Amino acid sequence: MPNTIIIGSGSYLPTKVIGRDHFKDSVFYTDEGEKIDKPNDEIIQKFVEITEIETRRYLEDDEFNSDLGFRAAKEAIADAKIDQENLDYIIYASNFGEVNTDGMTNFMPSMSARLKNKLGVKNRRCVNYDMIFGCPGWVEAMILADTLIKSKKAKLILVVGSETLSRVVDKFDRNKMIFADGAGAVVVRATDDETVGIIADSTICDNDVELNFLENSPSLKLDEDRRPLYIRMHGRKIYEYALKHVPDAIKETIDKAGLTLDDIDKILIHQANAKMDYAMISRLHKLYGKTDYDHAIAPMTIQNFGNSSVATIPTMFDLIIKGKLDGHTFKDQGNVVFASVGAGMNINAIVYKFP
């Protein structure tokens, strides 16, 4: 059975850097619709203490999601040194599609079709496919790509994660400071070597009481127009859910690969909140009887780039493999975990072994 290896990567971080001062004149409301009567400096400082997010990236007014995805994809294709006409699939992970400056979302045509057009791919047999799966969308797109390759329906696939969350936030919601924009992409191909590439994966979908932990809803300011919907995150519920279930899901995937945590060199975990990520990695180590660990196992980018949803992990992968994330490298024949949790609620994980 063929396996799936990454042969090229790319990423795009918008050039507009948004720091604390961007929010100093904001007016914030509680989930109950009451104005928060605290100085903004105090609100922002508390936010930074919890999330560690100091800056994030926003796209320009004349840019769109597909523009970001295009830049990351072009870089990945060039890095892979392939003829893009040989692509069998283009899989594009996002949650809001082509959002305009008024926050209106658009999935027609699909994001993957838009990208194929912008790339200029003429191959009619190259199938475009959108993955809408919450923040775990890019990881799930990789799992889909692996399934297609293992079933011999494809040999060469472009997998993109791109999001423009700055355009879907409620200006009265403190959580708007979490979200950011960006894109990451990889090219994967089939290999006959079953010992490398994606050697294990797992996906969990809890869609019962967890369904609306992340949702779209009207503004927190109750006298605002109720028709526009914004991303709404119920942070405490998400934190408790993630801490309870994500470490177990990662361990299950490592076990499925026939490995232990000692065999894992890096864990690239989706980043929405530094406090939550630290807690999940710590809980994972405790599952293996470890009370202490080298924090370098789990690189962090949220402090500088914020939460770019589906773009977080592929962007981090690209930065590390190209030596652009200080203090972090991948080992030849090393094992890496990709793991994410997000709207749905959905959790997934992959163990990837470098050739």
The residue among 175, 194, 213 that closes a domain is 194
Q: In terms of C-beta distances under 8 Å and separation of at least 24 residues, what long-range contacts does 111-119 make, across chains too?
A: 111/65, 111/66, 111/69, 111/162, 112/160, 114/66, 115/66, 115/69, 115/70, 115/73, 115/90, 115/160, 116/90, 118/66, 118/67, 118/70, 119/70, 119/73, 119/74, 119/77, 119/84, 119/90
Cα–Cα nearest to 10, from 184, 189, 187, 182: 184
Judge if 128 and 252 occupy the same domain: no
Range list of H helices, 6-83: 40-51, 65-80
Q: Is the dihedral of CA 9, 106, 144, 88 positive or negative?
A: negative
Mean pLDDT across 45-64: 96
Count how many residues are written for the chain.
355
Query: Could you identify the residue written with the tokens 């010992």?
Result: 195
DSSP 8-state code for residue 296: G
Q: Are 213 and 272 in contact (CB under 8 A)?
A: no
Cα–Cα nearest to 96, from 309, 306, 238: 309
Instruction: Return the pLDDT at 272.
Output: 87
* Token reading at 322: 């190209």
pLDDT at 252 over 90: yes
Percentage of the chain exceeding pLDDT 70? 100
Helix axis angle, 274-287 to 235-256, nearest 10°: 40
Judge if 207 and 157 occupy the same domain: no
- Using DSSP's 3-state secondary structure scheme, residue 178 falls into coil
Judge if 133 and 8 occupy the same domain: yes
Range list of H helices, the chain: 40-51, 65-80, 111-119, 137-150, 235-256, 274-287, 302-305, 312-321
Judge if 109 and 232 occupy the same domain: no
Judge if 156 and 271 occupy the same domain: no
Judge if 184 and 265 occupy the same domain: no
Q: Which domain holds residue 219?
A: 198-353
Angle at 26 between CA 25 and CA 30, to 5 degrees: 145
Name every residue whose Cβ is closer than 8 Å to that of residue 104 and which is 6 or more positions away in sequence.
Answer: none
pLDDT digits over 315-343, tens only?
A: 999 999 999 999 999 999 999 999 999 99
Confidence class of residue 182 from pLDDT cuts 50, 70 and 90?
Answer: very high
Confidence class of residue 42 from pLDDT cuts 50, 70 and 90?
Answer: very high
Mean pLDDT across 158-179: 97
| Predicted structure pTM score | 0.96
The residue among 150, 179, 194 that closes a domain is 194
Judge if 120 and 238 occupy the same domain: no
Alpha carbon distance 28, 34 (integer Å): 9
Judge if 74 and 98 occupy the same domain: yes
For 46, other C-beta atoms within 10 Å of its C-beta total 12
Judge if 54 and 41 occupy the same domain: yes
Q: What is the CATH number of the domain that holds 95?
A: 3.40.47.10
pLDDT at 52 over 90: yes
Judge if 202 and 181 occupy the same domain: no
What value does the mean pLDDT of the chain take? 96
DSSP 8-state code for residue 248: H
Judge if 26 and 135 occupy the same domain: yes
Judge if 221 and 179 occupy the same domain: no
Instruction: Return the pLDDT at 170.
Output: 97
Alpha carbon distance 159, 119 (integer Å): 14
Cα–Cα nearest to 185, from 142, 228, 150, 221: 142
Mean pLDDT across 226-251: 95
Q: How many domains does the chain have?
A: 2
